[in-house]
Chains A and B, each alone.
Chain A
Amino acid sequence: MSFRRYLPHYLMVAPFMILFVAFFLYPILSGLFYSFHDWNGVKAPEFVGFGNYDRILVSREFLRAMGNLFFYIAITVPLGIFVALGLALLVDSFTGRWANFFRNAFFMPVVLPAFLAATIWRWIYAPNFGLLNMILGWFGVPSINFLNDTGTMIYALIAVDIWVSAGFNMVIILAGLKNIPTELYEAARLDGATKLQQIRHITIPMLGPVLFFVFTYGLISAMQVFDKPWLLTGSSFTSYGGRRNALLFPVMDMMGRAFGGVKFGEAAAYGFLLTVAIVFVTALMFALRAWSERK
C-alpha cells in the first residue's frame, strides 16, 4: 500500500539511483571483490586473500609513489590556494573589462587539454633550448634539466599543477569574495584598518567555507594526480615515473600494474587502497571543519 503511495517518489529518484548503482556502487564493490583475487581481466578470478595488498604495500614502487604523493600534496595544495587567493584578490580589485580579461586569462589553463599543457611545459623546461633555461641563461645560470634531474622534477610538476589549477580555484574564491558584505569593509575602513588587516580579519574568515571547499577539492585531486606527471615524463605502460621514479604517483603505478603487467586484481587492490585513503581524508576534513565551527 505504502509502496504504491510513494511510487511517484521512487520513480523520481530512480534515474539517480540507477546511475549511482551502475557507475558508483557497482564499480566499488566489484573493485573490492577483484582486489582479493588474482585476475588478469579475462580468466576466472582466483581468490588470494590479502595477497594483492601484501604485494603492493611492501613494493618499492608503492612506497616511492606514496612518498612522492605526500610531498606533492604538502606543497601543491596550500601553495595552490595561496596563489589562487592572490589572483582572486587581484582580479577582484579590477573592474569592468580588465576584470573580465584577467579572469579569463587566469582561467585559460584550466580548459587546456592536459596533453597540450604538458607539451607547452616540456618546451618551457627543455634543457638548452627551453624558455626557462633561455631566461636563466641571460643571468649566467647554466642549463638545468628540470624534467630529468631528481632534485627539480617534483617542483617542476608542482609549478605546472599550480598553473593549471589556480584559475579554477580563483573563480571559486572570486565567487566567495562577491558574497562578502561590503559594509564590513566600510566599517573596517572607518576604524582605520589597513588593506592587509581587512584581508586578515574580514576576507579570510568570511571565505572560510569556500577555502575549505577549495582545500578539500585540491586534496582529493592531488591524491589522484596522473595525467601531468605521466605526460611530462613521457611515460608508457611499460616505463613510467621518470628518472628514478621521481614523478611516480599511485594512480600511475596502478595503471602500470593493470595494463603493463596485466594484473587487474592487484590494480583493483591499489584502487581500493586509494579510495579508502580519499574517503578517510575527506571525512577527516569534514570532522576538522565541524570541530573548528564548534569552537
Chain B
Amino acid sequence: MRTYTTLRAAIAGATLLAVGCGGAAFAQDVTLEYWVYSDFAQGDALALQQEFIKEFADAHPGVKINITGKGDDDLTAGQVAGAASGNVPDVFMNAQHIGAQLVEVGALANIYDKFMALPEDVRNQFDKDALDTCMPKPDELYCLPYTGFGSLLFRNLTVLEKAGVDTTTPPATWDEWFAQMQKVKEAGMYAIPDETLVFNSIGEIYATSGNSDTWGFNWDNRTTRIDEATMTKVLQKFVDMVPLNTGTSRNDQATKDLFISNQLAFHTIGPWVNPTYAEAAKTSGLKYDFVLIPGDTAGKTGGVRSYEIVGVAPGPNEDVAFEFASFITEKTQMARWAKLLSRYNANAAAMADPEVSALPLIKVSVEAAHGAMNLAAPYFVDSVPSCYNSTVIDYASATSDGEYTPAEGAKEMIAELNDCLAN
C-alpha cells in the first residue's frame, strides 16, 4: 500500500516537473524574481532552495530564478511598494495574515484556475484546513500554504524538577499548568514570559479558553469576533500570571537567556526557537522538551496556528511563476524541506512521510497546528487596520497592570476593536 502511495506521489512529482502544470514550453528566456524569508536564504536552507531552483530550471530551459532573502517587514514593504510601482517579485513568501494587504494592492494573483488544473493527486497533498485559509471565496485562491506552526509549550525540565514538578506527564489542563507555574515561583524561579506583550502570545493564552470561532474578524459587519466572557476569563489569567512572569516578551532574547540558564520554566512559542534550545542542550546541558499548550479542559489545546505562504504576482510571468510555486510546495520538495529544518508544513502528504513524521518536533507540531486557533482568520478578505493588534495588546497589558478589572478590560477592548475595524 505504502509502495503504491509513494509511486503515485513520484508520478505526480514527475508530472509536475516534466510536463509543467500547464505543460507550457517557454519560447523565450524568463527570469523569475523569488523572494524568501531571510533565514531561508542562508546556510543549508539556501543550499536546498538552490537545489530546488536548479531542478526546476533544468526541467524548464530558458527559465532563470533569482532568489533574494528579506526580513519580515522588508518582504511586506517591498511587495506593497512593488505593487504600486508595477514591480512585484514573481514568486514570494510572506505571512498568511499579511495576505489581505497583498490582495488589496494587487500583489497576489488569484491562482484558483491554475491550481484546479493540477493533477488531483497534487491538489490533495495539501492540508485541507491550511488550503481553505487561502480561499476567501470558493473560486478564489491567493496562496499555496508553505511552512507553518502551531504554538508549542517548551518546558525547562531542570527548573520543573527543582520546583518539585513531575515532568513525566505534561500538564493536561490550564489549572494543572497554572499550579505548576505557582510551584516554580515558590521555588524562586520564573514560570513564564509576560504573555501580554505580544499579539501572538495573547492569542496563545486566549486559545486555552476560546477557539477560532471567537477570535479574529467578522468582516461582514466589520466587528471583532472576540467573545467578551472568554476574554474576561483570559484577562483574569494574565492578572494571575503577573507575579509569576519574567516581564519580558516571548520574543525577547532575554527570555531565551532565562530559559537556557535554568531560570525560566515555560516558553510558549513556535518551533523556530528549537534550534537555539537544541544547541544549548548540546553546549550547556539544557534539559528541555516541547509539548502541547493545555487548554481549560483535558483534550483542548491552546496556542495559535498560522502559515507562511507562497504567492504568485499577476503579470506576464504568472504561469511559469505558478509552476515554480507548485513545484516547491509539492510533496517531494516539502518532505526534503521538513527533514532539513525539522519544521512542520502545510503539505499533509509530506508530513505523513514516515521519515518526516518520525521527527519529534514535527510530530508534536502537526498535533499543535490541528488543535490550535487561527491567528487572524479569516484571511485574504480585508486588511487588518494597524490599530487592531495594538488595541488588543494595550488592554491586555493595562488589565494586567491593574488599570482595569478583567471584565472592564474585555468590554472596553471589544468596543475599541469594533471602532478600529469600523473606521
Q: Which residues of A contact B (CB under 8 A)?
A: 40-43, 55, 59-61, 122-123, 126-130, 145, 148-150, 234, 236-241, 243-245, 248, 253, 256-257, 259-264
Q: Is B383 an interface residue (CB 8 A)?
A: yes
**Told that A149-B247, A261-B385 touch, could you supply 19 new A-B pairs with CB distance under 8 A?**
A41-B81, A59-B387, A61-B390, A126-B254, A127-B246, A127-B254, A129-B254, A130-B254, A234-B249, A238-B98, A238-B389, A244-B393, A244-B394, A245-B390, A259-B76, A260-B101, A261-B386, A262-B383, A263-B385
A40/B386 contact (C-beta < 8 A), A127-B247, A128-B258, A239-B393 known? no
Q: Which residues of chain B come closer than 8 Å to A236, judged between CB atoms? A: 72-73
Q: CA separation between A61 and B391, bound complex, in Å?
A: 9
State the Cβ distance, A115 to closest chain B Cβ, in Å: 11
Q: Which residues of chain B come closer than 8 Å to A127, judged between CB atoms? A: 246-248, 254
A145/B248 contact (C-beta < 8 A), A61-B387, A129-B257, A238-B386 known? yes
Q: CA separation between A150 and B199, bound complex, in Å?
A: 18
- Contact call B386/A256, Cβ cutoff below 8 A: yes
Could you say which of B73, B80, B98, B197 contacts A41, with CB atoms under 8 Å apart? B80
Q: List 22 A-B contacts (CB under 8 A).
A: A40-B383, A41-B81, A41-B84, A42-B105, A42-B106, A43-B106, A60-B391, A126-B252, A126-B257, A127-B248, A149-B247, A237-B73, A237-B76, A238-B386, A240-B390, A244-B393, A257-B386, A259-B76, A261-B387, A262-B80, A263-B383, A264-B84
Q: Is B263 an interface residue (CB 8 A)?
A: yes
State the Cβ distance, B184 to closest chain A Cβ, in Å: 16
Q: Which residues of chain B come closer than 8 Å to A257, judged between CB atoms? A: 386
Could you say which of B72, B254, B389, B397 contacts A244, with CB atoms under 8 Å apart? B397
Interface string of B362-393 (1 = CB under 8 A from A): 00000000000000000000011111011101
Q: CA separation between A262 and B105, bound complex, in Å?
A: 8
Q: Is B194 an interface residue (CB 8 A)?
A: yes
State the Cβ distance, A154 to closest chain B Cβ, in Å: 16
Q: CA separation between A149 and B247, bound complex, in Å?
A: 8
Could you say which of B83, B253, B384, B398 contacts A42, with CB atoms under 8 Å apart? B83
Q: Which of B77, B83, B194, B389 has the most CB of A within 10 A?
A: B389
Chain A interface main SS type: loop
Q: Is B186 an interface residue (CB 8 A)?
A: no
- What residue of chain A has the Cβ atom nearest to residue B246's Cβ? A127
Q: Which residues of chain B come closer than 8 Å to A41, judged between CB atoms? A: 80-81, 83-84, 105
- What residue of chain A has the Cβ atom nearest to residue B254's Cβ? A126
Q: Which residues of chain A come closer than 8 Å to B105, judged between CB atoms? A: 40-42, 262
Q: Which residues of chain B come closer than 8 Å to A234, judged between CB atoms? A: 249, 251-252
Q: Which residues of chain B come closer than 8 Å to A248, judged between CB atoms? A: 390
Q: Which residues of chain B come closer than 8 Å to A122, judged between CB atoms? A: 253
A128/B76 contact (C-beta < 8 A), A261-B384, A261-B386, A262-B101 known? no
Q: Which residues of chain A come closer than 8 Å to B76, judged between CB atoms? A: 237, 259
State the Cβ distance, B292 to closest chain A Cβ, in Å: 25
Q: Which residues of chain A come closer than 8 Å to B98, judged between CB atoms? A: 238
- Contact call A259/B73, Cβ cutoff below 8 A: yes
Q: Which residues of chain B come closer than 8 Å to A245, judged between CB atoms? A: 390, 394
- Contact call A239/B72, Cβ cutoff below 8 A: no
State the Cβ distance, B195 to closest chain A Cβ, in Å: 12
Q: Is B104 an interface residue (CB 8 A)?
A: yes
Q: Which residues of chain A come closer than 8 Å to B397, judged between CB atoms? A: 243-244
- What residue of chain B has the Cβ atom nearest to residue A129's Cβ? B257
Q: Which residues of chain A come closer than 8 Å to B104, judged between CB atoms? A: 40, 42, 262
- What residue of chain A has the Cβ atom nearest to residue B81's Cβ? A41
Q: CA separation between A251 and B104, bound complex, in Å?
A: 23
Q: CA separation between A127 and B190, bound complex, in Å?
A: 12
Q: Is B135 an interface residue (CB 8 A)?
A: no
